[in-house]
Structure 1
C-alpha cells in the first residue's frame, strides 16, 4: 500500500473512533427525556459521560485536521459544499457543551430543564447530520472539473441521505442507552435496558435497510461483507441486552458502528468524493492527497502521538469505570431527597470538583462540579 492509501485507512480509523465514542455521548444526551424522570436521574445520566464527553469530541478535531493535511482537495470540496451542514453540527456541539457546564449554575429546576432540552437538541442534530453527510459522500455529489460542489443544499437532503441520517440517529441513541445501562445501577439501569430493547428493534430494521441499499447501489463485495458483520453485531447487541449482558451489548454496539463506518469507507474506494454527474470529476485517493513528503512527516508524527492518545483515553475510562446511582448524587441510599418541586425532589446541591477526587474510584466520574 502507498502512503495515500494508508492515510485513507488512518482517516477511517479516526472517524470510527469518533462515531463509536461520541456516538454514545449523543445517545445519552438524546435519552434524557426518556430515562430521566427527575433531576437526580438526569444528573446520573450526565455524570456517566461527564469525565469523557469532551475527550471523545477531540476525535473529530483530529479527523478533520488529518483530512486537511493528508487530503486537502477532499477537505476543500467537502467543507465548501457542506458548509451549512457542518456549521449546524458545530453550533449544536457548542450548545451541547455549554449546556453541560451551565445547567448546574443555578438550583431552579426550570433553569436545568432549559439546558437539558439544549443537550437533547445538541445531541440529536449532529447524530442525524453526520449520517446525512457520509451518505451523500458515498452516494456522490455533483462536481465540476475543478472539484467544486455544484449542487444546492436541498440536493443533500435526498431520500438516501435522509435514511442515512435516521440510521446514525437510531444507532447512536441505542448505543447511548446501552451505555447508560452499563454505567448505572438501580431503577435507571432497568429502564435503560428496557428502552434499549425497544429502540434496538427499530434500529435493526432501519440499519438493515440502509446497509442493504448501500451495498446494492454503491458497495463492493468487501463492503457487503463488512455490512453483514455490522448487522450480525447489531443483532448480537440486542440479544445481549435482552439477557442482561451489558458489557457484551455495549461492545457489540460499538462493533456495529465501527464495521458500518468501515463499510462506507471501503465502498468509496478508489474514490474519496465521487462525482454523481461525471465520474471523470471524482476525487480519488491519489488525486486528492498531499505530497509524499507531507504524508511521510505525518506518518512519523502519528506513530508517536496516536498510541499516547489511546493510552491516555484508556486510562481515563479505567479511572471512571464504576457504576453510578442516585445515591452517588444525593449521598442517600435510594437517592431520596427532601420535598420540593419537580416530583417531590427539591433542588440538589451540585457540589464541587472535590467530589470527583473523593469518589473517582467508587463513583466513576461523579464530577458534580461540572455536572459530569
Structure 2
C-alpha cells in the first residue's frame, strides 16, 4: 500500500473517531435545555461529558494536522474554499468551551441560562456544518486548473449539503440521548430513553435518504456495504434502546444501544470516505483534470515516511490515555450526586461557582 493511501485511511479513521466521540457530546449539549429541567439536572448532563469533551476535540486537531502534513494541497484548498463554514465551526467550539468553564462562575439563574444557550449553540452549529462540509467534499465543488475553489458560500448551501447537515444533527441528537441514558439514573435516564426513540426515527430516515442519494451519485461496492452495515447498526441500536435490560429491571439495554449508534456513525463516515477515494476533493468543473486526489495532493514520500513512524509511536499512547479516562469516569451519575450547596459555593472574591 502506498503511503499516500495509508494516510488517507488514517485521516478517515481520525474523523471517524471525532464524529463518534464528539457526536455524543454535541448531542448532550443540544439536549441541555430539553432534558435538564432544573439547575441540578442540567449539572448532571454537563457532568456526563465534563471529563471527556475537550479530549474528544483532540481527534479533530490531529485530523487537521495530519491533513496539513500529509495532503497540504487538500488542506489549503479546503480551508480557503470552506473558510466561512470552518470559521463558524471554530468560533462555535470556542464559545462552547468558554461556556462550560464560565457558567458556574456566578449563581444567578440568568447568567447560567445564557451560558447554557451558548453550549446549545456551540454544539448545534458544528453538528450541522460538519454535515454540510462533508457532503460538499463527497459531492465535489468547483475547482479550477490550479485547484482553487471558485464558488461562494451559497454554492456550499445546496440541497444535498443541507440534507447532510440535518442528518448529522439528527444522528448526534440520538447518539447523545442514548449516551445520557447510559450515563444517568432516575428520571433523566427515562426521559433520555424516550427521546432517543423519537429522535432515532428521524435520524434513521435522514440517514437513509442522505446515504441513498450519495450512493446513487457514485457508488462503489465497499461504500454500499458500509452504508448498509451503518443502517443495520442504527436500527439495532434503536431496537436495543427499547429492549428491557436483563440486569436492571428499570432500565434498557443502553450499552448495546450506544454501541449501535456509535457503529452506525463510524460506518456512515467510512462509507463517505470509501465513496470519495481516490479523490480527496472532486471538482465539479472538470473532474478528470481539476480534482484533487491522494496522488496529486500528497506530500513527498519522505515526509509521509517520517509521519508514519511518529504515528506508530504516539498513537497507541494517546489511545491508551483516552481509554483510561473513559474507564475512570464510566459510572452513572444522577441528581443525588449534585449537592444542594454546590450552586451557592463561595469562591474567592465573594462570587459563587456551581
Q: TM-score scaled by structure 1? A: 0.90
Instruction: Give the paired residue count.
Output: 341
Could you say which residue in structure 2 is the equivalent of 1:312?
Answer: 321
Matched, 1:276 2:284: yes
Q: How does 1:1-372 map to 2 (within 5 A)?
A: 1-243=1-243, 244-279=252-287, 280-330=289-339, 348-349=343-344
| Residues 222 and 266, structure 1, Cα contact 8 Å, conserved in 2 | yes
CA distance in structure 2 between the partners assigned to 1:227 and 1:320 by the alignment:
32
| Residue segments in structure 2 that go unaligned for 5+ positions in a row | 244-251
Which 4+ runs in 1 deviate beyond 6 A? none
| Residues 233 and 255, structure 1, Cα contact 8 Å, conserved in 2 | yes
CA distance in structure 2 between the partners assigned to 1:74 and 1:370 by the alignment:
45
| Residues 27 and 123, structure 2, Cα contact 8 Å, conserved in 1 | yes
Query: What is the CA-CA distance between 1:246 and the residue it aligns to?
Result: 0.3
| Residue segments in structure 1 that go unaligned for 5+ positions in a row | 331-336, 338-345, 353-368
Q: TM-score scaled by structure 2? A: 0.94
Query: What is the CA-CA distance between 1:370 and the residue it aligns to?
Result: 8.6
| Residues 25 and 53, structure 1, Cα contact 8 Å, conserved in 2 | yes
Query: What is the CA-CA distance between 1:351 and the residue it aligns to?
Result: 8.3
**Aligned pair in 2 of structure 1 residues 106, 325: CA closer, same or farther (>3 Å)?**
same
Across the aligned residues of Structure 1 and Structure 2, the Cα RMSD in angstroms comes to 1.4
For residue 61 of structure 1, give the secondary structure of its aligned residue in structure 2.
Answer: helix
CA distance in structure 1 between the partners assigned to 2:344 and 2:49 by the alignment:
19
Query: What is the CA-CA distance between 1:218 and the residue it aligns to?
Result: 2.4
Query: What is the CA-CA distance between 1:219 and the residue it aligns to?
Result: 2.3
Query: What is the CA-CA distance between 1:130 and the residue it aligns to?
Result: 0.2
| Residues 107 and 353, structure 2, Cα contact 8 Å, conserved in 1 | no
Query: What is the CA-CA distance between 1:350 and the residue it aligns to?
Result: 5.6
**Aligned pair in 2 of structure 1 residues 19, 201: CA closer, same or farther (>3 Å)?**
same
CA distance in structure 1 between the partners assigned to 2:295 and 2:126 by the alignment:
30
CA distance in structure 2 between the partners assigned to 1:209 and 1:268 by the alignment:
18
CA distance in structure 2 between the partners assigned to 1:88 and 1:17 by the alignment:
21
Encode CA deviations 1:309-362: one digit per residue, 9 max, x unaligned: 0000000000001100001112xxxxxx5xxxxxxxx9823689xxxxxxxxxx
| Residues 101 and 370, structure 1, Cα contact 8 Å, conserved in 2 | no
| Residues 343 and 353, structure 2, Cα contact 8 Å, conserved in 1 | no
| Residues 131 and 165, structure 2, Cα contact 8 Å, conserved in 1 | yes
Query: What is the CA-CA distance between 1:222 and the residue it aligns to?
Result: 1.1
Query: What is the CA-CA distance between 1:294 and the residue it aligns to?
Result: 0.3
